[in-house]
Chains A and B, each alone.
Chain A
Amino acid sequence: MSAAWDMVPVLWQDILTTVALLLPALVVGGFVLRGFAPWPLVRAILWRFRGASALFVLLIAISVGMGIGLLAQERGLRRGTAQAADKFDLIVSAPGSELTVMLAAVFLQPSDMPLLDGATYDEIAGHPDVEIAAPLAFGDSFGAASVIGTTAEFARYLGDGRIEGRMWETTEEAIVGALVPLEIGGEFSPAHGHGDAADHDAHDAAHLDVVGRLAPTGTPWDRAILVPVEAVWEVHGLADGHAPERAGQIGPPFDAAYFPGTPAIVVHASELWSNYALRSQFQRDRETMAFFPGAVLAQLYRVLGDVRQIMSLMALVTQVLVAAAVLLGLFILSRLFQRQLALLRALGAPARFVFAVVWSFGATLLLAGAAGGVLVGAGAAEVLSRVVTARTDILVSAPLGWSEVQFLAGFVSVTLLLSLLPAAVVLRQPVVTALRS
């Protein structure tokens, strides 16, 4: 059975799952409404209680919208972080926390990390399967932008070669990420450290000219300033990575004896499969740690996946509770038109017709609320995406997907079944008592 299901195309799996979720509501709706045309009465009741009805629809829409908006956002965040890590096939660093190194190297979150020496860098860069071995040097900033020292090769790889202006040619030149508020031709002096703790005067002597701008990458690197790694070493009074006879050289090869150290090396292998061999080779106790940022994210997603399931369940329960409260409100509301319902019975309407009127009233509010919830959800996801993107520079896009559609289908089904209850209770009211009330 499971194997047969796996053979069904994913799109059809989604469609079938959605239909299966909606099926209980469709069956019940079909049975309740079969042969009747209650809509003029439902419209009349909706119009009579338009204020309360609008409020109920709004409550449901907000509750549903927040639920599906959060779920869409969580998925968008996953995609955004995965995309941000896309260019970072393999990272080699000193042993420690893979998560910390990934956050620092991929997401540019400041962190104190031990350094790898020149010999280790040489070994990695000299490996025949390694196409790019880029040292990263963190620690400086300009305004909100991190100043990252690396190689021109990696900067080009990061931007897929799309650079407005040109690549740096000296240690006094820099290129900026797409969102950095510096123009080509502008000049800056990096501060030592980040944020409030930054020492703005520490590197006063250093002046760097902006000579190029990277195309947008949808990653935190869009808000980074990239400089030759030698420039970072120099402004900190360290060797520039090259022997005196090669003074002034920019980029690899570096001389191990003059290599001041780097907290992380981003490795891009010539072949995808080589990454695994490289990871095995550079995963050494007490020397180096090699890991795939994608794998670390996947671990994180697994943990978040459990949280997502709990969140989904909580969101569904919350929404069902809101819907139940609304249905209770409907029941109370229905007391106000119980004479009209009794009239229908007095005119000879079958009990199922009266049931259909009350159920349809509730169903209309729930469906309108759910439809409104889609709009609220899409809006909430869009707003959250912008907020997260603005705060993290991870390009988060969270369009509603099948998960949200299925979540909505589940909500609609459960609540339409729940709305049978008030309809059944209303039907139990004695007709004559209601007529005389």
Chain B
Amino acid sequence: MGLPLKIEGLVVPGGRGRVLLSVPELSLPAGALVGVEGPSGAGKSTLLYALAGLLDVAGSIRWGEVDLASLRAEGRARFRADSIGMIFQDYLLFEELGAVDNAALSALFRGRGERAGVRARARDRLDRLGLGGTAGRRVASFSGGERQRVAIARAMAAEAPVLLADEPTASLDRAAADRLVDDLVALARETGTTLIAVSHDARLIARMDRVLTITDGAVTGDREATA
């Protein structure tokens, strides 16, 4: 089941007193599928990284009961490991590893007792995403769409209740992008995961429950998506 998000007074500082992003208040229910759109450089990815606890910010980012902004870097890393899955535009896979090794990457830094579980879920997610037959193959031989599905399996192998996706379809052709959107949305709905996807892809945005628009470092729009 996903986590609800409550942001209060979020400010992401840039250099020389600049503010990269300011979100005075924002609430999302658990399991919501949220699209984030806006022009390039507006602060969409900054919002995503802030929500992942990868940036030092002012204000409060409350995922469920946890105020991520109040944690130190290692505490935020622990929270990410348990609660946040991330997907990137260019997959960021280890090309030399097989699909299942990539999908189960987080098993490497988890305790011995958790590793087998992560690997089993990674295999399950790969099966679910249609890559069960190629789980042992090196991802270097995969197409873009296959790679991004491995990245989704990786993001969901830890059963994270939150999924943050940064332009997940930007490197794919239309057909691969459509299939990926189908898989992503279906998996998120099936597992009740809270999904926040930054994208310029209108078809992806249209599949979300809610759409935030960010312009010049501020949330300037908040609407329900229209399929």
Contacts and interface: CB of A to CB of B under 8 A. Distances in A.
Interface stretch (B87-95, B176-184, B185-193, B211-219): B87-95
Contacts of A350: 74, 77-78, 109
A36 interface: yes
A347 interface: yes
B21 to A, nearest CB: 12
B137 interface: no
Interface in A318-343: 339-340, 343
Given A344-B105, A348-B106, A432-B54, A48 B95 contact: yes
A47 interface: yes
B81 interface: yes
Interface string A335-363: 00001100111111111010000000000
A37 B54 contact: no
Contacts of A41: 94, 97, 108
Nearest to A37: B108
A435 interface: yes
Interface string A64-78: 000000000000000
B98 to A, nearest CB: 9
12 contacts: A38-B108, A40-B97, A40-B101, A47-B96, A346-B52, A346-B86, A347-B105, A348-B81, A348-B158, A349-B77, A350-B78, A432-B54
Interface string B43-73: 0010001001011000000000000000001
B127 interface: no
A36 B96 CA distance: 20
Contacts of B79: 348
B92 A351 contact: no
A162 interface: no
Contacts, number: 75
A35 B105 CA distance: 15
Contacts of B97: 40-41, 44
A109 to B, nearest CB: 60
B74 A351 contact: yes
Interface of A: 35-38, 40-41, 43-45, 47-48, 339-340, 343-351, 353, 431-432, 435-436
Contacts of B133: none
B54 A44 contact: no
Nearest to A38: B108
Contacts of B78: 348, 350
Given A348-B78, A435-B88, A35 B111 contact: yes
Nearest to B104: A40
B82 interface: yes
B73 to A, nearest CB: 7
Which residue, of A40, A41, A345, has the highest number of chain B Cβ atoms within 10 A? A40
Nearest to B81: A348
Contacts of A35: 111-112
A48 B96 contact: yes
A366 to B, nearest CB: 21
Contacts of B77: 345, 348-351
Contacts of B49: 432, 435
Given A44-B95, A351-B74, 6 more contacts: A38-B108, A45-B96, A343-B92, A347-B80, A348-B78, A349-B109
Contacts of B52: 346
Contact of B106 (A38, A44, A340, A347): A347
Given A43-B96, A48-B95, A351-B74, A346 B80 contact: yes
A48 B93 CA distance: 13
A37 B74 CA distance: 19
Interface centre among A35, A340, A343, A348 (most CB of B within 10 A): A348
Contacts of B101: 40
Contacts of B81: 347-349
B109 A344 contact: yes
B122 interface: no
Contacts of A36: 108-109
B82 A348 contact: yes
A431 B105 CA distance: 18
Contact of B94 (A44, A432, A435, A436): A44
A35 B115 CA distance: 11
B167 to A, nearest CB: 12
B135 interface: no
**8 A-B pairs with the lowest CB-CB distances in the bound complex, closest first:** A348-B81, A348-B80, A44-B96, A353-B109, A343-B92, A349-B109, A47-B96, A44-B94
Nearest to A435: B88
A83 B115 CA distance: 61
A345 B54 CA distance: 9
Contacts of B88: 343, 435
A350 B74 CA distance: 6
A153 to B, nearest CB: 74
A351 B105 contact: no
A219 B45 CA distance: 79
Contacts of B106: 347-349
B84 interface: yes
Contacts of A346: 52, 54, 80, 86
A66 B58 CA distance: 57
A40 B105 CA distance: 9
Contacts of B86: 346-347
Listed residue (B52, B96, B106) with the most chain A CB atoms within 10 angstroms of its CB: B96
A351 B108 contact: no
A340 B94 contact: yes
A343 B106 CA distance: 11
A327 B73 CA distance: 27
Nearest to A45: B96
B16 to A, nearest CB: 17
Interface in B158-211: 158
